[in-house]
Every structure is written in C-alpha cells, then in structure tokens.
Homo-oligomer: A and B are copies of this chain.
C-alpha cells in the first residue's frame, strides 16, 4: 500500500514557515504513484481500485476512532480541510474518498460566502460551530482559509485585517490540536487550462448548469492574484502539527488516490484500536441470559 519512495505525506507536504512556490508543482504530476511495474499499464484503473481498498481500511480505522470516543472517552478526531480554486475537485474528492467511509461518523460542511449573520461575527465563529465531535471525521469544503483569500483579492477588508488573520488561524489551529483534533489541510492544485475545460463542461452539459456560477469567471480573471494569496496563506499557516499538503489535481484519479493515502497515513499515525470493555463482560452475559426466560 505504501507508495514507492516514501510516504505520500512526506512527498506532498509543504515546507513549514518558508515561502511556497505553487508554480513549481505541476498539476498533472503524480508524486508517490508507483510505476507500471506495480500499477500495470492502466494506472488510472489501478488507482481507482486502490481508493476502494484504502477506503475500506479507512472505514475500519474510522470505526475505531468512533468507538474510542463513545466507549473510551477519547477526544480524538480528524478534520480534513479542502481548499482549491473553482473546479479544483473538492466535491468530487469528498464523494469518492468520504464515500468509502461510514456516513454516521462523518461531519461534512461546505462554507460558502458568509451569510449576513455570519458576516457580523468573527470569521472563526461559523467554523467553530461546525467542528467535528470527538470520534468523528470532519471535512470542510472550503474553510476559514477563505477569509485570507477572497477578502484580500477582492479588497473587501483592509490589508491589516486579513493579514492579522494568519496569526489568528495559527492560534485557532493550535487550540484544535490541543483539543484532540488532527488537522489534514489539503490544497487541490489544478492548472489554469484544466479549470477552463471543467467550466466549459459545466456550461455544455445541462445536467451540470447548476454547478456553474458566473462569478467563477470573474474569479478566474484574477487567477494570478488568487495563486499569490494561496501561496502566502499556505506558507504562513503551515506548522509541524498541522502542515499544508499540495495535491496535484488535474488528474482526478490521482487526486482521489493521494487524498485517500494522506488520510490513511494520518490514521495510521493515530495508532487506533478498540477500547477495552468498561463493564464486567461475564456479569453482563449473565444478566442478559437472565432476561431470556422472562415473558415479554
């Protein structure tokens, strides 16, 4: 299961504290993917199978996480933060990777433009309300990182306001880590050309019109500004406990494979197991058998 040449985590992890050069990551590349001697001639089909296999393992680990919280009093939880340009594949990743897990233990939340109520509050207010409970896997489809991207590029607030948010995010995420949250922060990195193709598909297929928003083209016109905003945010907000990962995302099958592996390696590091019984098994068995003879 482990890709050739080390872990996917290691390969995709951005340096902490340093500036980030997103242009140096080729969106069509497939870091960590084994060669044809492992995948056979059809790497795509192989990767799709692996997502299902890894997904089944994730489901087992997710159950242990859930059990540890419910019966073992653990406060452990996992939070996957997904960020990307429009059409970057956040929805598709959730469908494929989270789709393999038990929906009962998932808490998925999409963050759109702030509502009037949300805009009146601190930018972390709506985020705090949606944190996963102990034992759960949370997935944020966009997140608090939007607040150092959109307001900056669209000049919605003064620079000192959005710039101060880097430190606020650092404090917030440290607090989460202390509370048992393992953060997995992923930037799905697509190319300018791939975005055009996907937007065109949404305009061409009537069954996909609902996914299209004219503002997507406005944001596309500011591509370079958004890339710069991402580069600074990812560089400033990565820490040893909660690093940022960049997943090349022009190839959907690689993207799903990489995110599934990132999660798998994250779970492996948690070293989970089922909690021991918090009751006397023999005595409970006797109590249970004692109810057998009773009439209904």
Query: Does A168 belong to the interface (CB within 8 Å)?
Result: no
Question: Copy number in this complex?
Answer: 2
Q: Mark A186-211, 1 if CB is under 8 A from B, else 0.
A: 00000010001001100100110111
A16 / chain B contacts, CB cutoff of 8 Å: none
- Contact (A67, B210) CB under 8 Å given A104-B91, A224-B296: yes
Q: Quick check: is A11 within 8 A (CB to CB) of the other chain?
A: no
**A291, CB-defined interface residue at 8 Å:** yes
List of B residues within 8 angstroms of A71 by Cβ: 209-211
A165 at the interface (CB under 8 A from B): no
A104-128 with Cβ < 8 A to chain B = 104, 106, 108, 110
Interface size on A, residues (CB 8 A): 51
Bound-state CA distance A148–B9 (Å) is: 50
B288, A210: Cβ atoms closer than 8 Å = no
At the interface, is chain A mostly helix, strand, loop or mixed? helix
Quick check: A291 and B104 within 8 Å, CB to CB? no
Enumerate chain B residues within 8 angstroms of A223, measured Cβ to Cβ: 296
In the complex, what distance in Å separates the CA atom of A94 from the CA atom of B102? 8
List the one stretch of A38-46, A170-178, A276-284 in contact with chain B. A276-284
Interface check A221, CB cutoff 8 A: yes
Q: Is A163 an interface residue, CB under 8 A from the partner?
A: no
Q: For A285, list chain B residues within 8 Å (CB).
A: 200, 203
Q: Is A291 in contact with B103, judged by CB distance below 8 angstroms?
A: no
Q: Which residues of B contact A224 (CB under 8 A)?
A: 296
Known: A206-B274, A220-B291. 9 other contacts (CB 8 A): A71-B209, A101-B103, A103-B108, A104-B108, A192-B296, A203-B285, A209-B274, A217-B288, A217-B291
